[in-house]
Amino acid sequence: MLARLRILATAAATALAGTLLGLAAPAPAGAAVPATIPLTVTNNSGRGEPLYIYDIGTSLTTGQQGWADANGVFHAWPAGGNPPTPAPDASIAGPAAGRSQTIRIPKFSGRIYFSYGQKLVFKLTTGGLVQPAVQNPSDPNRNILFNWSEYTLNDSGLWLNSTQVDMFSAPYSVGVQRADGSTASTGRLKPGGYSAVLNALRAQPGGWGGLIQTRSDGTVLRALSPGHGLESGALPSGVMDDYINRVWQKYATSTLTVTPFADRPATVYYGRVSGNVMNFTDGSGTVVTSFQKPDGDSVFGCHKLLDAPNDAVRGPISRTLCAGFNRSTLLVNSRQPDTTTANFYQDAVTNHYARIIHAQAADGKAYAFAFDDVGAQESLVHDGDPRQAYLTLDPLS
């Protein structure tokens, strides 16, 4: 199952994300978000294969996992098995190249998958849905060209993103229409940006080109995120070690100051390294949380040794550390988060996958690692009273 789906997975996560990002404004007084809203899928890919769409997620009311049909009707998955059993066919026939199609999406938190040429394979275990995990060579979806967007629709509105947290693949943008008729969109690459990302990864020293997966017919399917690259052996395990070591050395003799909430400047934590541990204290000098020296997987995945629970202290500090490591700002600025984009990715040892994707994003925004929303660098649209959502599939060029 794909791990580390960070964006808006539960109602609690939605509320926390809104607090940290300043996004979770309630719907306007008197407005009520309907049970479903229209999503228009426009196929500008130029590809001739059949397109399949899936709306898969979790009901925020019942906690049930399931899928929605084209009318926005939620269907709970049946019980799974061990070994996993095939899931019901949740696919929706999508529009042909050059055409659009409107479906309805219900209130839940999940993913909108799309695949070209073949339907995706979903299975059910006793623990729930097994989603594609293409870093696994035996995953049945490995040779399918597909991608997904993530969204939450609830009483407070719509959050819809374009994500590269797990992989960079078939490009698309997302959008929302507001009550006043205006629209907001994000996620589109610059002209030629898809090929530019892949070419830049191939040219980046240190094995970054190993993240690219190609089908036997020569079709480039995706570039794995660096965390999955480490997991699968596609990226050298020590690719971030030098930077992590230098950060640990710096803060053994100086203090890292973290102010995790933009709207609460008085909430400040102070980090110092002692041996293999970075301890964070509050203003009274009390240790509030500690982090073991992370490895590259912890940094790229923002998990394990940089775990970020949905709490008021450790999670926000960890988010800040994760962003600082991935953007390599921890050595140039001892006050974090650093939201000056000119400082991002300047070290030779950095998350080059994230650097390259952001450089090719038309608006500079992307979800290239789990907490790319720190400093509002994420490719996300939100509205408290959404009237229409959009998913536009772009050319692979």
Which residues are identified as catalytic?
Answer: 150, 166
Going by C-alpha positions, the residue among 7, 4, 37, 101 that lies closest to residue 384 is 37
Strands 92-93 and 123-125: what pairing? unpaired
Coil, strand or helix at 110: strand
Residues 6+ apart with CB under 8 A from 47: 97, 116, 117, 396
Two structure tokens written together for 220: 């480039």
Residue 259 · residue 267 · CB < 8 Å: yes
Two structure tokens written together for 276: 């293999």
Q: Which residue has the tokens 């509030």?
A: 288
Across the beta sheet with 167-168, the strand order is: 167-168, 220-224, 212-214
CA distance 240 to 350: 7
Alpha-carbon Rg for the chain, nearest whole angstrom, is: 21
Residues 6+ apart with CB under 8 A from 180: none
Residues 6+ apart with CB under 8 A from 60: 10, 11, 107, 108, 109, 152, 154
Residue 266, exposed/middle/buried by CB under 10 A (0-12, 13-18, 19+)? Answer: exposed
CA distance 341 to 344: 5
